[in-house]
Amino acid sequence: MKTYSLFIIFLFYFLSLSFPCYAAEKCNPKDKKVLLKIKQDLGNPYHLASWNPDTDCCDWYVVDCDPKTNRINALTVFQANISGQIPAAVGDLPFLETLLFRHITNITGEIPSAIAKLTRLKTVRLSWTNLTGPVPSFFSKLKTLTYLDLSFNQLSGSIPPSLSLLPSLLALHLDRNRLTGTIPESFGAFTGSSPPDLFLSHNQLTGSVPKTLGNMNFTRIDLSRNKLEGDISFLFGKSKALQDADFSRNLFEFDITKLEFPESLSNLDWNHNKLTGNVPVGLTTLDNLQQFNVSYNRLCGQIPVGGNLQSFTYAEYFHNRCLCGAPLPAC
Ligand SMILES: *[C@@H]1O[C@H](CO)[C@@H](O)[C@H](O)[C@H]1NC(C)=O
Ligand SMILES: *[C@@H]1O[C@H](CO)[C@@H](O)[C@H](O)[C@H]1NC(C)=O
Ligand SMILES: *[C@@H]1O[C@H](CO)[C@@H](O)[C@H](O)[C@H]1NC(C)=O
Ligand SMILES: *[C@@H]1O[C@H](CO)[C@@H](O)[C@H](O)[C@H]1NC(C)=O
């Protein structure tokens, strides 16, 4: 009897070895094939070592499957030791909502046009890489896009005006590239309910900021370190939503004395421009103003007293034509 039950136990044991408990693979075979192509096109990097054809691709590193459809919906490659171009095969993951290649020094070449096929994309971050070529205008066809970040690359050419057609865009990061030309007029007509946070700093943009941008209610706008010129007073006013605004290191030239500002304003950087007039008295009523900088301009007169204006230091006011009063020396 004892040997009999031992025999049964061993029988089950050996059966379980030869027929392992088999969980059905969730991964869609088409997606798996595409991912293996991507891995191959990237030169089989160590970062993708878990992409083993014998395992379920829904369990692989840096990809996600949608829990309902089991289709690949995210590819997020971050800080990897990978060289080469973004494989065109990414365009064959039709359920992709998030596409991210970030902090990868040796990703070069242009942004592949195959991305235009990914009509479900919500988040695209191709940043801190070494991409070259233009900002593709096909992004304007990806209507569900909420977040487009192409910052910290070497993209050149001008900004595609059609990006304003993205109805759900919450943030547009084109900063730290080599973009030239002007800010498109169309950026005063974003079709969404509120305009995206706009980051265009550290490029080589020229010309005046289109007056149409005054029609938009921006919350965050960073145009710093370009070669933009002229008057941007239309971006300010009591009824705006402005919170963070960086216009530093440009060639803006207008009288700021009478500008008014919303209660919400918390950061305003105007350093290194050609602003004239005096520090606006309207700033003294802003309780939320945390950072302010008007150094290196052509301002003149006594700094208005009140609000947070005296809490900033000498370095936020110095190098003007004849600005005086605390925190600068008395007039
Ligand atoms: C980038 O590529 C260069 C030349 O091919 C190589 O020397 C360097 O180690 C690579 N760097 C990274 C972080 O992969
Ligand atoms: C681009 O490549 C250069 C030279 O290989 C490197 O120094 C730089 O850090 C790279 N840029 C980024 C954002 O990785
Ligand atoms: C801008 O947005 C703020 C805050 O949402 C709102 O109070 C204000 O009415 C808007 N102004 C305009 C001109 O649309
Ligand atoms: C204001 O701008 C000047 C000039 O660029 C800079 O030296 C100073 O550190 C800035 N202040 C702050 C608080 O960043």
Q: How far is the CA of 34 from the centre of ligand 1 (A)?
A: 26
User: Rounded to the nearest whole angstrom, what is the distance from the C-alpha of residue 222 to the centroid of ligand 4?
Assistant: 16
Determine whether the shortest distance from the Cβ of 239 to ligand 3 is under 6 A: yes
The length of the chain in residues reads: 331
Instruction: Tell whether ligand 2 has an atom less than 6 A from the beta carbon of residue 128.
Output: yes
> Residue 151 Cα, ligand 2 centroid: separation in angstroms?
13
Determine whether the shortest distance from the Cβ of 311 to ligand 4 is under 6 A: no
Query: Ligand 1 pocket: which of 105, 107, 108, 128 to mutate (most atoms <8 Å of CB)?
Result: 105
Per-state percent for the chain, helix, strand, coil, to nearest 5 = 25, 20, 55
Which is more confident, 22 or 161?
A: 161
The average confidence (pLDDT) of the chain is 93
d(CA 114, CA 131): 15
Residues 6+ apart with CB under 8 A from 205: 159, 179, 180, 181, 182, 183, 223, 226, 227, 228
Find, among 151, 137, 258, 239, the residue nearest to 198 by Cα. 151
Residue 12, pLDDT > 80, answer no
**Which of 35, 91, 83, 89 has its CA nearest to residue 63?**
35
Which neighbouring-strand residues pair with 206? 227
Q: What pLDDT does 105 receive?
A: 85
Pocket test for ligand 3, best of 216, 236, 239, 288 (most atoms within 8 A of CB): 239
Does 154 contact ligand 1 (Cβ within 6 A)?
no
Average pLDDT over residues 245-258: 98
Residue 303 has phi, psi (to 5 degrees) of: -65, 125
Question: What does each C-alpha distance from 308 to 167, 295, 311, 313 come to in angstroms?
Answer: 37, 16, 5, 11
pLDDT tens digit sequence for 208-250: 999 999 999 999 999 999 999 999 999 999 999 999 999 999 9
Q: Which atom of ligand 2 lies closest to the CA of 152?
A: 13
Q: What is the pLDDT of residues 167-219, one digit of tens each?
A: 999 999 999 999 999 999 999 999 888 899 999 999 999 999 999 999 999 99
Buried/exposed code over 62-90 (b: 16+ C-beta within 10 A; e: otherwise): bbbbbeeebbbbbbebeebebeeebbebb
Decide if pLDDT at 52 tops 90. yes
Contacts of 19 (CB under 8 A, 6+ apart): none
In short, whether 154's Cβ falls inside 6 Å of ligand 2 is: no
Q: Judge if the beta carbon of residue 81 lies within 6 A of ligand 1.
A: yes
Q: Is the CB of 217 under 6 A from ligand 3?
A: yes
Distance 84 CA to ligand 1 centre (A): 10
Rounded to the nearest angstrom, the distance between the alpha carbon of 102 and the centre of ligand 4 is 29
Predicted TM-score (pTM) of the model is 0.90
Q: How far apart are alpha carbons 236 and 331 in whole angstroms? A: 28
pLDDT, one tens digit per residue, over 60-82 is 999 999 999 999 999 999 998 99
Ligand 2 atom nearest 153 alpha carbon: 13
Q: Is the CB of 106 under 6 A from ligand 1?
A: yes
Cα 217 to Cα 174: distance, rounded to the nearest angstrom: 19
Percent of the chain with pLDDT over 90: 90
Q: What is the mean pLDDT of residues 105-111?
A: 94
Q: What is the mean pLDDT of residues 12-22?
A: 46
pLDDT class for 19, splitting at 50, 70, 90? very low
Residue 328 has pLDDT above 60, yes or no: yes
Atom nearest to 104 CA in ligand 1: 13
Give the ligand whose atoms come closest to the C-alpha of residue 218. 3
Mean pLDDT check: name the lowest of 12-26, 78-92, 158-172, 213-227. Answer: 12-26
